[in-house]
Amino acid sequence: MMSENESSKATPANITPEKRVSGLWLIPLLTVAVGAWMIYDNWASQGPLITIEFETAEGLEAGKTLIKTREVQVGLVEDITLNANLDGVLVSARINREFRDLLVEGSRFWVVQPEVTLSGVTGLGTLISGQYIRFSPEQDGQLSDYFKGLEQPPLTPLGTPGLRVTLTNIGDYTFTRGDRIEYYGITVGTIEDVEFNFEENQVYYNAFIQAPYHELITSNTRFWKASGIHAEFNGAGFTLDIGSVRTLISEGISFSIPDGQFQGDTATESALYYIYPSRAAINEQLYIYSLRYWVMVNSGIGGLSVGAPVSHRGVQIGKVLRTDYIPEGQTLLNKDMPIPVLIEINPGRLGLPDTEQSLQRASADINNWISEGLIATIRTQNFILGQQSIDLAYDESFANTELQTFTDLVVIPTGEDTLQKFADGIERLITKINELPIEELMADLQDLLTEGSDTLAAVQELSATGNEFFNNSRNAELVEQTTQTMRSFEQLASGFSSESQTNQEILKLMQSLTGLVEEFRPLVNDIKNTPNSLVFPVQTEDELTPARKAQ
C-alpha cells in the first residue's frame, strides 16, 4: 500500500510527440507519381501533332479518320476546325512517333475516296473501311508541322522517274487532267494539270512522261491528238482516222518523230510542245516566215476557205489566210466590188531558207514575176466537195502590168478560171439563143420558100463554084484536114456515148449511190421517229405477212 504523500506525488507522464505524417500517405503519393510518370511517358511517346489544310472536310471525322502511307497507319485525325478565313478546314492529326522524321516539307496529303474515271476505278476499299488521308512523304527537306492538303490525288507519285513537259494545243480540241499520253498504244504518261493563260488565251497542259519512255522525247518530237475518230474534208478529199477503242471513249495524245526526221536532242524539263490535230499534221512542215498578198476575186469564193492551198505549178507555196475582209466604205451591196482574199506565200516552200533574209529576196522575185505576167486563178480543186484553191501561173497578156497595192500589200492580178470561163461562155450562148427572133426567122423562112426557084438556081451556081473549089489542090488539102478534124471529134464524142465505158462507169456509180441512199432511208426514218432507238431497243410491231386468199 502506498502512503498519501507517496500517492499525492504523481509521476510525470512521459509524453512522446505524435508522428506528423502518416505512412498511409505514401500510397496516394505513389499513385500520383505513377500517374505522372504515365502521363509523361504517354506525352513523351506520342508523335507530333500536325495541321493539314483542306478545302473541305468531306468524309473526315475526328478520332476516326486514319492517316496512312502505303496502306500502313501512321496517324489519326484528332480535331477538325474551320480556318480563320472560313474558306477551308484545318485538320489536326497526330502522327505516330516513329514516323515523325517523314514529316518533311513538301510531303503530300490527300483524301482517298471512291473515284470512277476513264482511267479506272480507284478507292473502292474506302466504301467499307471509310475514307482516309493518304500521306506521301517527300524524300529530303526540313521537318514541318503544317501541310496544304491536295484536293485531288496526285497522278504521279513523288520521286517517280520521268520527264515533265508542257503541251499546248493548236486547234480547238481540249484535254483534261488524267488523259493519257500513248506511244504506239502503250500508256507512257498522263496529263497532270491544266492551266489556262488568260493573257495568251491559251491552254497549257503539264504532262508527265514516265521513265524509260521519257528518253523518246526529243527536240524533234511532235505530239498529236489521238482521240476517237478524226475526219477531215479538204480539197484533196475525205480522210478518216479511227483510233483504238479506248480512244473512242476518252481523249489521248500520241507522239512520234515526223517521217524522215532525225531523233533530235534530248528534251529538257518543262520543254514546250504543240499538240497537232492529227498524225498526218505532224509531217507538215512549219514555216515561220511568210509574205502576204491580196488577190482580188471578181467571181464567187464559195469553196475557198481559210487554209486553202496556194499553188504554183502544182506545188503548194502558201495558203489562204482570210476571205472575209470588206474594205472600209465599201459593201457587198456593190455588185462590182471584187472580194479581197488575203494569201501568204512561204519562202521556205519556194526552196529558200526559212529566214528573214529570204523574205526580201522572195518579195523581189515575186514582184518581178507579177511584172512578167504572174496571175492568181481560183480553181475548183474538188468537184464533189466544191473546194477551191488558188493557183499562181503566168499569162502573157498580163505582162508589164503596173504593180498595185491594197492596204500596203501587193495585189496579185486575178485571171479567170478556165472552167468558169467555159460556164460563162455557155451562159452567154444560151442568152443569145433566147434572144434569137424565132418568129421573124420563121416569117423570113416562108419568104425564102416562096423564092425557092431562085434559090435552086443559086444552088446550081454554087455547086459549079464548089466543083471548081474542090478541084483546086490546095482547097482539097483543106477539106482533107477538115475531115480529119471531124473524125477526131467523132472519136472523142464516142467516148462519151451511151455505150461507152465512161458512161457505164458513171451509171454504175450512180446506181451504187442510189442503192446506198435507199438503204439509209429506213434508218433515217427510225432515227427521225424514235431518236433513242440508237441506244435503247425499240419495241417493234409485228409485221403483217402475205396470207393465202380466203376460199
Partner 1 sequence: MKFNRLVIPLCLAIGACASEPLSISYYLLSTPSSEQARTQSMTEKKTLVIEDVEMAAYLRQSGIAMQTSGSQLQISKQHLWAENLELSVPKYLATAMQSQSTNYQVYVRNLDYVPSARFSLRVHIDNLQATDQGEVVSSGRYQLIDNEDTNHSIAVDFYFERDLQEDGYSHAVAKIRELLNDIAADVISTAENLN
- Rule CB under 8 A: which residues touch partner 1? 116-118, 176, 178, 248-250, 498-499, 504, 507, 511, 514-515, 518-519, 521-522, 534-537, 540, 543-550
Q: Which residue number, 192 or 354, has a Cβ lying nearer to partner 1?
A: 192
Dist. CA 326–CA 338, nearest whole Å: 10
Q: What count of other Cβ atoms lies within 10 Å of the Cβ of residue 287?
A: 15
Contacts of 6 (CB under 8 A, 6+ apart): none
Tell me the Ramachandran region of residue 313: left when phi exceeds 0, alpha when psi lies from -120 to 50, beta otherwise: left
- Candidates 287, 327, 293, 324; CA nearest to 310 is 293
Task: Look up residue 335 and give its three cell numbers.
Answer: 455588185
| CB-based contact 414:296 (threshold 8 Å) | yes
- Candidates 118, 262, 279, 283; CA nearest to 184 is 279
Contacts of 355 (CB under 8 A, 6+ apart): 289, 347
Dist. CA 320–CA 311, nearest whole Å: 10
Through-space distance between the first and last CA atoms of the chain, rounded to whole angstroms: 163
Task: Look up residue 407 and give its three cell numbers.
Answer: 492596204
Tell me the Ramachandran region of residue 233: left when phi exceeds 0, alpha when psi lies from -120 to 50, beta otherwise: beta
Q: Which residues pair with 410 in a beta bridge?
A: 405
Backbone angles phi, psi at 349, to 5 degrees: -75, -20
| CB-based contact 401:370 (threshold 8 Å) | yes
Q: Residues 157, 162, 167, CA angle at the centre, nearest 5°?
A: 100
Q: Which residue number, 117 or 455, has a Cβ lying nearer to partner 1?
A: 117
Q: Which residue number, 402 or 543, has a Cβ lying nearer to partner 1?
A: 543
- The strands making up 108-112's β-sheet, listed across from edge to edge, are 108-112, 132-136, 66-69, 72-82, 89-95, 49-54, 146-148
Q: What count of other Cβ atoms lies within 10 Å of the Cβ of residue 166?
A: 15
Task: Look up residue 190 and give its three cell numbers.
Answer: 498522263
Task: Look up residue 347 and give its three cell numbers.
Answer: 519562202
350 burial level (CB within 10 Å; 0-12, 13-18, 19+): middle
Write down the least CB distance from residue 516 to partner 1, Å.
Answer: 11
- Candidates 425, 422, 404, 423; CA nearest to 414 is 404
Dist. CA 377–CA 423, nearest whole Å: 15
Task: Look up residue 154 and give its three cell numbers.
Answer: 496526285
Write down the least CB distance from residue 217 to partner 1, Å.
Answer: 27
- Candidates 6, 90, 7, 13; CA nearest to 49 is 90
Task: Look up residue 398 and give its three cell numbers.
Answer: 498580163
Task: Look up residue 492 and give its three cell numbers.
Answer: 472523142
Whole-Å CA distances, 478 to 50, 463, 466, 474, 475: 110, 18, 13, 7, 5
